[in-house]
Amino acid sequence: MLSVPVRREVAATLRLAAPLVGAQLAQMSMSFVDVVMVGRLGTSALAAAVLGSTAFFTLSLICVGVILAVNPTVAQAVGAGDDDLAARATRQGLWLSVILGVPLFVALGWSEEGLLALGQDPDTAALAAAYLRAIRWGIVPNLMFSAFRGFYEGTGRARPVLLATIVGVAVNVVANNALMYGKWGLPALGLEGTGWSSALVFTAMAASLAIGIRVSPALRRFGVLTGLRSPDPVMLGTLVKLGAPIGVTFGLEAGLFSAATLLVGWLGETPLAAHQIALNAASFTFMVPLGIGMAATVRVGQLAGAGNDAGARRAGFVAIALGGAFMACAATFLWLRPDWVVFLYAGAAPEAELAALATALLGIAAVFQLVDGIQATAAGALRGLKDTTVPAIIGAVAYWGVGLGVGAGLAFGLDWGARGLWWGLTAGLAAAAVLLVGRFQRLVR
């Protein structure tokens, strides 16, 4: 039987996590819509979209990681009753969005030259570059959305984040139709139109959260949107020191799966297709522990800021348990019914070799899911304590040293193929889970 404080913490975490999970799933749905709609433009456009979006979102993810420093800073400030610090952190998060976004904007103007230097097909590189030159106008709004989101989440208000993301989904569908296909008298821009559509989506989501701060008396009192005329070097330095390791961690994790996909590609088309099925399934369910981890950052941060060490400890371990419990359920489903997942991605009559390998990888993904959920929520709890440097080091060792190292050894050294690579990734995430949970335990005991 759970104690009353634990039951209350479970309820508080779930109330905060539910809209955040919804927001993550909504953002994922936008990527799905883009792929479906770009697919109608043909194979060349789809290939260029994959190339361009991978480059854009990998670079953006690193910058978003840095901006994520706003979340625990605001959460701890709110816990300590320091509204001015919460507002300062958010304002400087907006400045940091500009400081990080403008150089990236300029760099993407040379994206075609960069893609050609990396050996990409000239036609594909030209299409991808047109997409990147359009979507880059959304870089700064996207980062500002992350800063505003950090303020909302840090103050314990997650529902507006979900609503802003739903606005983004609606804008995405309408703008894609208008700009890709030339509806309502607008020119048909093809893949470039997808880039402009995404830029509009980022702008709409950031504007939605800014308007929410302006019209809500409870949020307006913080004064987030006043005093924006000049940056605060001290607070900027604090955010960069806290957020840079998060950005590095995000980059390492994104790079890990990109490298894994590249290695599987060396094994042939069937292993690559099976790998993509397993990875897509795991990515979908991962949105839940990711949302719980975000909630953990807020709950742990607010309680730590209030000086409630026992409460912060409880909040962290409740989140880790919730993330692990959900992923255990997801793992059980993948273990028992992998055929349903294969049917979803490959149809009712997939090739026998693909079905067999995808089923095997989904079985490994069941174990992968469990440790991934634990490490994600533990990382979120540690961010609530403003502990980011050591987790980044853990990520580097676990993801690349253990995960990719063991995976490549099993895949190619022992000739286990894609199965070996997935067992390696699982080992890496398991190492991260053990080390991150141990780190949290040591900091809060």
Q: How far apart are CA 76 and CA 157, in angstroms?
A: 14
C-beta separation of 281 from 365 below 8 A: yes
Tokens of 361: 């990888």
Q: How far apart are CA 110 and CA 88, in angstroms?
A: 34
Specify the pLDDT at position 347.
Answer: 64
Confidence (pLDDT) at 140: 96
The distance of Cα 148 from the centroid of its chain, to the nearest Å, equals 16
Write the DSSP assignment of 156-173 as a string of letters: T--HHHHHHHHHHHHHHH
pLDDT tens across 100-139, in order? 999 999 999 888 888 888 777 788 788 889 989 999 999 9
CA distance 61 to 253: 10
Q: Which phi-psi region, left, alpha or beta, contains residue 156 (left: φ > 0; alpha: ψ -120 to 50)?
A: left
| Displacement of CA 193 from its chain's centroid (Å) | 24
Enumerate residues 6+ apart whose C-beta is below 8 A from 140: 97, 98, 101, 102, 105
Per-residue pLDDT of 324-335, as tens digits, reads: 999 999 999 988
What residues does each domain of the chain span? 4-231, 270-444
What pLDDT digit, counting tens, does each position of 256-307 carry?
888 888 788 888 878 888 888 888 888 889 999 999 999 999 999 999 999 9
What digits encode the pLDDT tens for the residues 179-190?
A: 888 888 778 888
Question: In terms of residues, how long is the chain?
Answer: 445
**248 SS3 class:** helix
Task: Decide: 81 and 261 in contact? Cβ < 8 Å.
Answer: no
pLDDT class of 84 with cuts at 50, 70, 90: very high
For all residues of the chain together, what is the average pLDDT? Answer: 90
